[in-house]
Amino acid sequence: MANIPVVAIPGDGIGPEVTKAVQKILKAAKAPIDWLEHHAGLAAIESSGEVMPEGTVEAIKKCAVALKGPCTTPVGEGFTSVNVQLRKRLNLYAAVRPVRSLEGVPTRFEDVDLIILRENTEGLYSGVENQVTDDVVMSMKVATQTACMRMSHWAFRFATQRRRKRITVFHKANIMKMSDGLFLKCSRSVHQKDYPNIDYDEAIIDAGCMKIVQDPNNFDVLLLENLYGDVVSDLCAGLVGGLGVVPGANFGDEQAVFEAVHGSAPDIAGKGIANPLALLMSAVMMLEHLADERSNEECKAAAALIESGYRAALRDGEKTGDIGGDLNTDGFADAVIKRLGAPAATA
Chain residues that interact with ligand NAI, rule: CB under 6 A: 14, 70-73, 83, 243-244, 259, 262-268, 274-275, 278, 322
Task: Kindly state the smallest distance separating residue 67's Cβ from ligand NAI, in Å.
Answer: 12
Task: Kindly state the smallest distance separating residue 213's Cβ from ligand NAI, in Å.
Answer: 18
Give the Cα-Cα-Cα angle 22, 26, 27 (nearest 5 degrees): 115
Task: Kindly state the smallest distance separating residue 42's Cβ from ligand NAI, in Å.
Answer: 9
Task: Kindly state the smallest distance separating residue 345's Cβ from ligand NAI, in Å.
Answer: 24
51 DSSP assignment: S
Q: Which CB, 198 or 285, lies closer to ligand NAI? A: 285
Q: Alpha-carbon distance 104 to 129, whole Å?
A: 45
Asked if 286 and 249 count as a contact pair (C-beta separation under 8 A), the reply is yes
Rg (CA), the chain: 20
Q: Alpha-carbon distance 333 to 111, whole Å?
A: 25
344 DSSP assignment: P
Bridge-partner residues for 97, per DSSP? 116
Bridge-partner residues for 5, per DSSP? 34
Output b/e per residue, 33-54; b: 16+ Cβ within 10 A.
Answer: beebebbbbbbbbeeeeebbbe
Count of beta carbons in the 10 Å neighbourhood of residue 337: 18
Task: Kindly state the smallest distance separating residue 296's Cβ from ligand NAI, in Å.
Answer: 26
Nearest residue relative to ligand NAI (C-beta) = 263
Reduced to 3 states (helix: H, G, I; strand: E, B; else coil), residue 83 is helix
Q: Which CB, 14 or 25, lies closer to ligand NAI? A: 14
Task: Kindly state the smallest distance separating residue 318's Cβ from ligand NAI, in Å.
Answer: 15
Q: Alpha-carbon distance 186 to 146, whole Å?
A: 9
Q: Which CB, 183 or 258, lies closer to ligand NAI? A: 258
Q: Which DSSP helix (H) or strand (E) runs through 308?
A: helix 297-315
Q: Which CB, 77 or 111, lies closer to ligand NAI? A: 77
Q: Which CB, 203 or 314, lies closer to ligand NAI? A: 314
Task: Kindly state the smallest distance separating residue 153's Cβ from ligand NAI, in Å.
Answer: 25
Q: Which CB, 298 or 334, lies closer to ligand NAI? A: 334
Q: Which CB, 72 or 179, lies closer to ligand NAI? A: 72
Tell me the HSE value of 237 on the side-chain side, using a 13 A CA sphere: 22
Exposed/middle/buried for residue 313 (C-beta within 10 Å: 0-12, 13-18, 19+): buried
